[in-house]
Chains A and B, each alone.
Chain A
Amino acid sequence: MAQSSKPIVWGPFAAGGTLTAFLTPALMVLTLLAALGYTPDLLAYERLHAFAGSWLAKLALAGTVFLTLWSAAHRLRITCYDLGVRADTLVATLLYSAALAGTAAAALYLSRI
């Protein structure tokens, strides 16, 4: 039996799971504050635009988007199987493509900032 190439999809999943565990709650608090009308300084247009203008921040943002979307896509794929959806190849293709498309879109928007 051949060794599986699952590590391609699992590696970014594990990395994304770790990143979102450390980071996502804090990010959510930031946008929640904005949603409640207490917009944090960073989310003011000028500051955020300047922040996202640096190459390092662009890379970090694109990386965060990729790992977040990828780990969510991978988990959702498994959950679909757990819930009885047997078309695993189709589900996997759709979800991973969506994660990649989201990342590509984020990269495109970042390049315009």
Chain B
Amino acid sequence: MSRKPYLREETMRWVFRHPRYLRYMAREFSCLFIGGYGLLMVWGLKRLSEGPAAWRSFLEVLQSPASIAFHVLALGFALYHSVTWFKLTPKALPVQVGGEFLPDGIISGAHYAVWAALSLAVLILAGAF
């Protein structure tokens, strides 16, 4: 019997094979927005270091429609990143207490709680309300 193994080539089709791969891609694409926001922070620091007038013009640019659109999109992706990150944390850092592993929900839940408290603290301390 002759052997002639056939390897089907991997194409980009895997992304559409199952919704989980699209969710994965969405998670990975969050880096564009988080990275973009990182660059925005660098630019903000530049303008801040250049004095009150420069900072005022930075705030004006922030108010442009493009910036608002970016912020809304970026916030959506950033939230998605947070949720996926905390959902996967119990897998990476399981905690064994007295023989049994803590249920994933407790570890994730603790992270969500800290996240909420921290976000609230940042918003209050920054005088957002």
Contact = CB atoms under 8 A, between A and B. Distances in A.
Q: Do chains A and B touch in the complex (CB under 8 A)?
A: yes
Interface in B1-51: 12, 25, 28-32, 34-42, 45-46, 48-49
A86 B20 CA distance: 23
Contact of A34 (B62, B82, B125): B62
A83 B25 CA distance: 10
Interface string B78-119: 110110011000000000000000000000000000110011
A29 B45 contact: no
Given A21-B81, A28-B74, A69-B35, A35 B46 contact: no
A36 B119 CA distance: 19
Q: Is the interface of B mostly helix, strand, loop or mixed?
A: helix
B127 A83 contact: no
Given A43-B59, A65-B41, A52 B81 contact: no
Contact of B34 (A18, A35, A71, A113): A71
A94 interface: no
Query: Interface size class for chain B?
Result: 35 or more
Task: Identify the 5 closest CB pairs spanning chains A and B, nearest first.
Answer: A72-B35, A41-B127, A75-B31, A68-B38, A42-B126
Interface of B: 12, 25, 28-32, 34-42, 45-46, 48-49, 52, 55-56, 59, 62-63, 67-68, 71-72, 74-75, 78-79, 81-82, 85-86, 114-115, 118-119, 122-123, 125-128
